[in-house]
Structure 1
């Protein structure tokens, strides 16, 4: 017993006697956090493929479902490659207010035992890369059923480089919005508003689908939409809880907030739809689910449970307004309502984060010296910066793709379907 006490005392005194020892000890990865972050990363990847592919695919007409799925897996793969070549270092390397640096090309400065927080840096690379992949995947729903496949690939290369990476650096990599104090726990601006405005610009630039407004464009497979929604819902726990970067109390808060806000949004959407249209629909429930997940994303780690519920209910109603009223006002053919749900509810979530983070409202509280008014102002600035930056880059990227390759397929090919004409396949053989 005396020897154990002696050794214990020596171990406890080492950090005091030798500060360098303390630094070395702090850099040791925690196995539990490593496992937690790897599982969270896998869940986010699961959201991208097959979550988005099934959700969006079911919303389209049967003649275009494979084209959408091909776009999802191809852009996912492209972004994965670009992320390790130069994406991670530009987003998270030390640099200026908008970009990191080129020091880590092909991850040459990330070594096997390097640690970020309490887990290996390679896991951080993978986790943040999964966010980049799903963001690009969200965009393709805005211009589905009439876009040229090669144009999608070129657009993604440009937009990822000049829009996603700067936004990730500004918010999470120590850049402009981070320094300003913007709260974006898991991607309200970086992921959802970023993707939504790019999708909206694309929908405008490609124009409406042939027959839009004259023909009924109904989802061809609602069970597929439901399965995709369920996958996204489950995967979102990796998205939100994983953004705590540790299996700690903030991860637990984000986990419960995600459940609560999403449930509130489903009920909010269904209730509003029931009152307006007389019937609650499965599509409404699925859309409400996504609306709640989007809204709680920036707020998951800082609002209280009650705040999450309020945010979810508001998001459900706001999302319905976005896809019914706002879409009509904008006079746009946003195929899968990317802006109506991800854009509108992303904005609701970012502003709501500024309000509901208040300790007086059950949140974790603001940084020292920050008031609710100031935080809401910063949140508003982050939204405007995202809309302008991403929207302008998207316009330029689409224009370049249009000049070099042509954005839209010919009308005859569009009417026959992209599955056969662009990929030589049919989803449902007779």
Structure 2
């Protein structure tokens, strides 16, 4: 990017003015080499740069403009990734082979697995490794939630803005966005990461057909739903599973003790934590960060609670998958969490045969959502953190139902007492004792009488 400082592009291009004098002296000294230099300067003068000879702006303005342009050109897409990485190398190596940067075809990799297993972290690492090969990159994070807040049009706007490197907000509806992506991005070689895609609508609106982009483009998709990545367009689906025990112990210790292993005093405790959590990176990180902030006297209590219900941060992540289910599949999920983990699926299907739960379809969907697995021995398996979530949901529903019945009994008892009471102050006191609704019911009952 040439800067023509106190010289015009014409002087550089044609070597006139002070350049002419300089080249006359150079020719005597360097001979034929000078012609190469003249050609080089002619080429430079034809590049797009800044001409300060016009004096239409101050030097400060010029420097500011140059710095912004250079930073924008040199800026590489680098997403923030935790420093505490364990057992990620093999996954990266496998996906690198799938991506094959030297290939000029269009490749789409779909990473799927249960919530909290590390799909986004893995996708970010791959994105960062590839980004320096691409001029046009885009990362759309948390698509599930973002589409609810901004609408799918907001995601389409961001995709076009990031890839064209200028603000774009002209999309008014879903169909218009699809048309604009096809037209504006056609032929561009891009790198795109779509994080947490949970509906085919998102796929259709943002990617549609791979041919929308130029040859050599790479797209990474993360999803909890296997159906999203098992489509013909995704040539390379990849399931991310839980960590093994040794990796889990190492990750927990990094967060809890700041090193890869526990001290002798905490080997037994750390082992219990890891076995309870069951190889889920999000949960290992959450409990590892929590313990140093709590007194060691309550560590045992935290572990005991952890066996019954996940930490809030983990619970919120897992609940997203549960909330996406319809009422029939929620019922099946809760039955497995509370009763049927470890059972032969044929026995479980028999127990549901007279229900209206459509269990065969339900089990298939739960598998694809990474909420259960069915082993080769036909036995149902559910991650301990998901079992804890399901049992906690049932416990809370049961508690609310008991509370409702108790309040209803108190309400009826209080209303009978109010009806038998004379005197405004006594009626108000009784209503405060039971609940405010009593006063409304009492007045209506009096009117009816």
TM-score normalised by the chain length of structure 1: 0.24
Structure with higher helix content: 1
TM-score normalised by the chain length of structure 2: 0.23
Q: Which has the larger radius of gyration?
A: 2
Higher relative contact order (CA 8 A, sep 6+): 1
